[in-house]
A and B are shown apart, each in its own frame.
Chain A
């Protein structure tokens, strides 16, 4: 494998590690749950994209053919991560409303009759 390809794969891997580290740092340090939901988006997008592109580049050059299967991880994460994040945001909002926090926004739809 040529030198520039190894440099490209190494740069992608190292940047992914740094992005994941920064996002975990934000997740551990920010004070509120709704603030804390933002830094993992960095890892979910840039971190996984960098690793997937590094894998696709490495396996393509290693096997001498186009190997795009690591990009399937991007598709799987793009489908599943927003659902999980939205559910957890709704959980946090629901519990905050149930606890009677003063600055909680009201529900958009009126509560259904039992």
Chain B
């Protein structure tokens, strides 16, 4: 791993960390429930991007599968919470 690539990876992970803190501010402040659900979905998405970058960093394919799993969990949890807010039930 060259210094150029490892520096770029560190910079990217730092950007993701700052972005996650900004989304966390919205998660805490967010006036309505849908703001919090959307912020949680974005946090899942940032975790998935971190997994992909770590896969490049450690030259491993296992991180990629973790990223796909996080994407699927994000979809299921966000849509279940949105359905709950909309109807008061998840499965009617």
A binds B: yes
Chain A residues in contact with chain B, CB under 8 A? 1, 6-7, 9-11, 13-14, 16-18, 20-21, 23-25, 27-28, 33, 36-37, 40, 43-44, 47-48, 51-52, 54-55, 58-59, 62, 69-70, 72-73, 76-77, 80-81, 83-84, 87-88, 90-92, 94-95
Complex interface: chain B residues within 8 A of A37 (CB): 38
**CB-CB under 8 A for A43 and B45, given A33-B32, A73-B71, A92-B34:** yes
Q: 30 A-B pairs, CB-CB below 8 angstroms? A: A6-B4, A9-B8, A9-B56, A13-B12, A13-B53, A14-B12, A17-B15, A20-B19, A20-B46, A21-B15, A24-B19, A27-B26, A36-B26, A48-B49, A51-B49, A55-B55, A58-B56, A62-B59, A70-B64, A72-B68, A73-B64, A73-B71, A80-B74, A81-B75, A83-B75, A84-B74, A87-B79, A87-B83, A87-B86, A92-B32
Residues facing A in B37-59 (CB within 8 A) are 37-39, 41-42, 45-46, 48-49, 52-53, 55-56, 59
B59: min CB distance to chain A, Å: 6
Interface of A is mostly: helix
Chain B residues in contact with chain A, CB under 8 A? 2, 4-5, 7-9, 11-16, 18-20, 22-23, 25-26, 32-35, 37-39, 41-42, 45-46, 48-49, 52-53, 55-56, 59, 61, 64, 67-68, 71-72, 74-75, 78-79, 82-83, 85-86
